[in-house]
A and B are shown apart, each in its own frame.
Chain A
Amino acid sequence: MPAVSKGDGMRGLAVFISDIRNCKSKEAEIKRINKELANIRSKFKGDKALDGYSKKKYVCKLLFIFLLGHDIDFGHMEAVNLLSSNKYTEKQIGYLFISVLVNSNSDLIRLINNAIKNDLSSRNPTFMNLALHCIANVGSREMAEAFAAEVPRILVAGDTMDSVKQSAALCLLRLNRTSPDLVPMGEWTARVVHLLNDQHLGVVTAATSLITTLAQKNPDDFKTSVSLAVARLSRIVTSASTDLQDYTYYFVAAPWLSVKLLRLLQCYPPPEDAAIRGRLTECLETILNKAQEPPKSKKVQHSNAKNAVLFEAISLIIHHDSEPTLLVRACNQLGQFLQHRETNLRYLALESMCTLASSEFSHEAVKTHIETVINALKTERDVSVRQRAVDLLYAMCDRSNAKQIVAEMLSYLETADYSIREEIVLKVAILAEKYAVDYTWYVDTILNLIRIAGDYVSEEVWYRVIQIVINRDDVQGYAAKTVFEALQAPACHENLVKVGGYILGEFGNLIAGDPRSSPLIQFNLLHSKFHLCSVPTRALLLSAYIKFINLFPEVKGTIQEVLRSDSQLRNADVELQQRAVEYLRLSCIASTDILATVLEEMPPFPERESSILAKLKKKKGPGTVPDPEDNRKERCANINGATNHSSTTANAKASAPSFIGDLLAPVLPPINRPRPVSSLSLLPTPLTPLSLQAYAMPLSPSAGSHFQVSSPASDLLSLGSASTLNSTPPSAPKASASLLVDVFSDNSPTAPIGAPAVVVADENFSRFVCKNNGVLFENQLLQIGLKSEYRQNLGRMYVFYGNKTSTQFHNFTASVVCQDGLNSQLNVHAKPADPMVEGGAQLQQTLNIECLSDFVEAPVLNIQFRYGGILQNISVKLPVTLNKFFQPTEMGSQDFFQRWKQLGAPQQEVQKIFKAMYSMDSEVTKAKIIGFGVALLDGVDPNPSNFVGAGVIHTKTSQVGCLIRLEPNAQAQMYRLTLRTSRDTVSQRLCDLLSDQF
């Protein structure tokens, strides 16, 4: 570039700029600018032509005024005139003005394009460069349209100067970025690749940038660049530093080019050709070796350049992830940097190590640096470096060092910078959960976490604690005790109060035996925090209180007193007021049985992706949070299945479900499953469809007494849905309503006219698929227990009716109805029962069952009796299912597979893939399969985690052989169930029954 000579300086411009700089106020500046604009206008207006120098000067001033933020609406023409000048400085100013000021829809665009075209074809390299720079700087679509074809031609033409080629490559890169659709891919692409072989290193550097961008889009077109890039790289790496003259930067050979080549190589997988591959490995090794050499210069530029190449090489190694030795060497190299006194290097080393930690080859190597990293966490002065250290600790964590790392993070948290606290909290919560061997440690850790950094503990974290405590009954007692102790502190964080309220409300009874934590003390402890809390927490505490009433009837009076106080009943907050009123009524009116039903312990939560992990992902953006478990799944056998939440793609898609959604999920069961409305967030009132149905019977004449009870309860339900904060309020009732309809239509599609419109209860039905004894039905009046035994096609069932009230049931009748088709398939004979049931007494009835052929529906037990003069009508589905008539069959592996093959017809096989609803414990699964009636065959399936069973179903008319195979996938929390029987209807029915059990 020709230097601007002294005499060429524009004095007027300098004076003007210094005037502006000396202005005291904005008004003075505007005045000065107005004056100057008037001057320029009068000059441009002048009839006498201006010479190039003045034109340049005034255009320059206009440009300066524009850059100060004022509108310029003239002078464009003069600038375009400058383009046709032959003087470099004038042309340069003209192009400058145009690239800054001319907008695309200007009338002048044609003139400008013309001038650019002239310059491009001028063969004067300086002018060509100016034109190319202008195209690149403007980079608009119009420019691209006009020159997208021209620029590649210049780039690959044989006679173009090197400097022009360089500019052309960069110009093309820019056009490709702004309007990729307009840049034609043609035969020039092949020739561009060969620019990597160019003599001139500047051209190679520019071309590498271009190729890297193009290769990211069309990797196949530029495949050949790999070998060329490797060759070029090896030439640079192995050259003595003096070979490249101008391109040696502080004794490092062409660092920019090396970095770009390494980036280019990262667009492709490791080269397949062994020779190229060997050469590349050699290069990378050389780069790693060079890092060990003593520095050739003490200047910071030398080490910067060297390290830039080194880090890019390491990212290439990580990208390839195929050479264990290189990975380990890279890791060791980074380990050295961890103690370097240059902060930037430490930062970069930590960052690269994070990615290295996720590679299986180098994970162990990374782990050796744990002490250094922990030290970095404690001593680093720069918060961003500490943040990287936290990331790395998170990435390198596994079962062996989890305790140490979590402890370190916790201790660091107390002094951590505010900006990263929340993230550390999330990470601690995740690690503690993922690698918890015993859950007491987990509970301790999380409570500690809340104590140390309560403000940064997000909702998800404490939701998760609750989920885990509820799902694992072995820690419930411990959790209650710990929480109780933690609450003793005079000042607790609100989150701790929330956790405490929830856990004591659920499991306070587990520690109530200790006189130091008697129910009253527990309650008083919780209530002492009540007034310090925000409204949502208070609402939660109120729910905890009502649960206390259920758990400890002895404190009922105290709690009612609290609920009755004006500060609750007349609270300004509607939510609190409603809760107080309804809980008070509920506790006054409902009998202990209703309370026990309504306030039953929360059912276990379905396992799903940890909401905390989802939150962390959301926070960091997808893909940036490597789940350590994901990356090392092969080696890290997951021992605690209950907390396994490695994400699958399906889970990731449904990522970040709100916790409320989690809780409500069972409201919308995939199929007609029991326990539908049972768990509502924060308001643990498992209203089963039965109790609902009892309440929803105002139509039947006998409902009078129930109705009173039902109103608060159904209110409670709507309150519950209202209290789920963000869910749609009517969802719960709607779900239950639709469920009721479903059940109804399922069971009696053609119910005889005149039959009482009673809905059949089946909420416990599926519980009996795998077992024979238990409580089938319970409401506040009646409990029905079952005991049954089956042999071949015959069965006997003992039904126990327990009168829960203190008064008699009159006119008690119980009959079994086999609706429509079922009559011919199943024969059920019920012995008549005593018409009178005394208060508190139990009545037994025996049913004899005979299976005639395979069946789908279940018989219905209709019970009628008078209680207090009102007719009660209850219908329960009897859990007589096809699998009850199984006879287990033992067989060997060979035998099994032979039969398996025999039943190969498509209609004989039924396969179902479904999501696990309960924890995937293999012992439980085994028990369930045996309970289902088939023989569990060990050692048949080559995969020991799969379950295989065989059995024969006996009916009066025929026998149906049945083979079962269940393949759990702990990773995805999914099961695949395959059934083969000789009859297709049987296969289908059994599959439906069994798939509901896991």
Chain B
Amino acid sequence: MIGGLFIYNHKGEVLISRVYRDDIGRNAVDAFRVNVIHARQQVRSPVTNIARTSFFHVKRSNIWLAAVTKQNVNAAMVFEFLYKMCDVMTAYFGKISEENIKNNFVLIYELLDEILDFGYPQNSETGALKTFITQQGIKSQTKEEQSQITSQVTGQIGWRREGIKYRRNELFLDVLESVNLLMSPQGQVLSAHVSGRVVMKSYLSGMPECKFGMNDKIVIDKQGKGDATVSIAIDDCTFHQCVRLSKFDSERSISFIPPDGEYELMRYRTTKDIILPFRVIPLVREVGRTKLEVKVVIKSNFKPSLLAQKIEVRIPTPLNTSGVQVICMKGKAKYKASENAIVWKIKRMAGMKESQISAEIELLPTNDKKKWARPPISMNFEVPFAPSGLKVRYLKVFEPKLNYSDHDVIKWVRYIGRSGIYETRC
């Protein structure tokens, strides 16, 4: 049970403070500021315990959101709530920034009152919230409207109201994945996983019934045509509340009445048969005490017709670097002293290609005996396919009451694979 929720700016000034339970005092606000935001050492753990009080925090750009409790709560629940809170705020006023929060603080308090009650998370579905918490001035609602909202919010399908009409029934489906990797210098995969999300934007009339199908291994095997399509093994997944879980459990089919507008249909994670879009081959040679030679090769490992974008390779340099010379064939490379790294940027790169950078690093001899820890080389990129191998097989829409069929709905599908923490040791 969350005892209170605070929002700070980057200086540690309190922007929003909402206390739900008496066991959280005012001093908790300061305790978090002093011990986490202004801590001498950077606090890396998202959970901090100060004087028998637990603080769970997430950071969005320069804004700190901290949930506080004195009880033994489920930490995953608290973080889920915090992320949801971020989503709700983004849905209401866009980017979470100090300015936006200051401009919307009445709204935020209103939201906080609605989505947390005595520390227990309540309905945090943006669509539902938007029906009764509006950014415009309060237009006096009639009794019927009020009762309609109440019955909808407390009813069986709280996330969608009746009577929605669109001239064009459209549906957007995005598969967003982030691929994480840790690789040894010899090219051995030490750990790799993909966490993905299926995000939908639906503009459909009435109360349509949707069915979503993908190349889930269990379903494919059941249907007995595993040879035709490549199937993937999903380690775990979570769904939006609109998905009928009983049906998923029994038939493994994903059917739902979608909310209106944008929402996250499911989240999943895979660890097997991941397509690694890039391979990094590092070569580091220490020449005496004052010189270091670094050579890094990257290889793209996908269909030549596809183009990867926004590629960035970050090669850390020792702390006593006194000068760097870089030579690269493709893209731009620069030594960034402020970040103690060489940053190599390539705008675009097709599949099955190779590129190389070499750098000479001069070192200043120090009286410090500490050896350089050699942090891993990290990489950022964006590719137009799902590294997990997930494919959308179908998305069917049924609306028995209104007069449109599956064929009349315009559907858009897009795959984006991004790098998460994509590191190679050197």
A interface residues with partner B (beta carbon < 8 Å)? 24-26, 31-32, 34-35, 37-39, 41-42, 44-45, 69, 73-74, 76, 106-108
Which of A24, A38, A106, A108 has the most CB atoms of chain B within a 10 A radius of its CB? A38
Q: Decide: B367 and A106 in contact? CB cutoff 8 A.
A: yes
Contact of B368 among A26, A32, A73 (CB under 8 A): A73
Instruction: List the 4 closest A-B pairs by CB distance, nearest first.
Output: A38-B337, A45-B322, A31-B338, A73-B368
Q: Report how far A644 CA is from B337 CA in the complex, Å.
A: 77
B410 an interface residue at 8 Å Cβ cutoff? no
Q: Report how far A42 CA is from B335 CA in the complex, Å.
A: 13
Q: Report how far A42 CA is from B364 CA in the complex, Å.
A: 8
Contact of A42 among B319, B323, B338, B367 (CB under 8 A): B323
* Additional A-B contact list (11), CB under 8 Å, known A25-B62, A26-B42, A38-B338: A25-B10, A37-B337, A41-B320, A41-B321, A42-B322, A45-B322, A45-B362, A73-B368, A73-B370, A74-B366, A108-B367
Q: Report how far A76 CA is from B338 CA in the complex, Å.
A: 22
CB distance from A33 to the nearest CB of B (A): 8
Looking at chain A's contact residues, is the secondary structure mostly helix, strand, loop, or mixed? Answer: helix
Contact of A44 among B321, B337, B364, B367 (CB under 8 A): B364
B interface residues with partner A (beta carbon < 8 Å)? 10, 40, 42, 62, 319-323, 337-340, 362, 364, 366-368, 370
Residues of B within 8 A of A106 (CB): 367
Residues of B within 8 A of A76 (CB): 367
Contact of B322 among A26, A35, A44 (CB under 8 A): A44
Looking at chain B's contact residues, is the secondary structure mostly helix, strand, loop, or mixed? Answer: loop
Residues of A within 8 A of B339 (CB): 31, 34
Q: Report how far A38 CA is from B317 CA in the complex, Å.
A: 11
Chain B: which residue is nearest A41 at the CB level? B322
Contact of B320 among A26, A31, A73 (CB under 8 A): A73
Chain A: which residue is nearest B368 at the CB level? A73
Residues of A within 8 A of B62 (CB): 24-25
Residues of B within 8 A of A45 (CB): 322-323, 362, 364
Contact of A73 among B40, B340, B362, B366 (CB under 8 A): B366
CB distance from A32 to the nearest CB of B (A): 7
Residues of A within 8 A of B322 (CB): 38, 41-42, 44-45
Given A38-B322, A69-B40, answer yes or no on A24-B10 (Cβ-Cβ < 8 Å): yes
Residues of A within 8 A of B338 (CB): 31-32, 34-35, 38
Residues of A within 8 A of B366 (CB): 73-74
Residues of B within 8 A of A37 (CB): 319, 337
CB distance from B59 to the nearest CB of A (A): 11
CB distance from B165 to the nearest CB of A (A): 48
Chain B: which residue is nearest A31 at the CB level? B338
Residues of B within 8 A of A42 (CB): 322-323
Which of B10, B339, B367, B370 has the most CB atoms of chain A within a 10 A radius of its CB? B367
Chain B: which residue is nearest A32 at the CB level? B338
CB distance from A424 to the nearest CB of B (A): 28
CB distance from A568 to the nearest CB of B (A): 32
CB distance from B62 to the nearest CB of A (A): 6
Q: Report how far A14 CA is from B1 CA in the complex, Å.
A: 51
CB distance from A111 to the nearest CB of B (A): 12
CB distance from B228 to the nearest CB of A (A): 51
CB distance from A29 to the nearest CB of B (A): 10
Q: Decide: A34 and B367 in contact? CB cutoff 8 A.
A: no
CB distance from B288 to the nearest CB of A (A): 14
CB distance from B99 to the nearest CB of A (A): 14
8 contacts between A and B (CB under 8 A): A35-B338, A37-B337, A39-B337, A41-B320, A41-B364, A44-B364, A74-B366, A106-B367
CB distance from A56 to the nearest CB of B (A): 19
Q: Report how far A39 CA is from B42 CA in the complex, Å.
A: 24
CB distance from A105 to the nearest CB of B (A): 11
Q: Report how far A76 CA is from B368 CA in the complex, Å.
A: 11
Chain A: which residue is nearest B370 at the CB level? A73
Q: Decide: B364 and A34 in contact? CB cutoff 8 A.
A: no
Q: Decide: A34 and B337 in contact? CB cutoff 8 A.
A: yes
CB distance from A55 to the nearest CB of B (A): 15
Residues of A within 8 A of B10 (CB): 24-25
CB distance from B96 to the nearest CB of A (A): 16
Residues of A within 8 A of B40 (CB): 69
Residues of B within 8 A of A31 (CB): 338-339
Q: Report how far A367 CA is from B337 CA in the complex, Å.
A: 74
Residues of B within 8 A of A41 (CB): 320-322, 364
Residues of A within 8 A of B368 (CB): 73-74
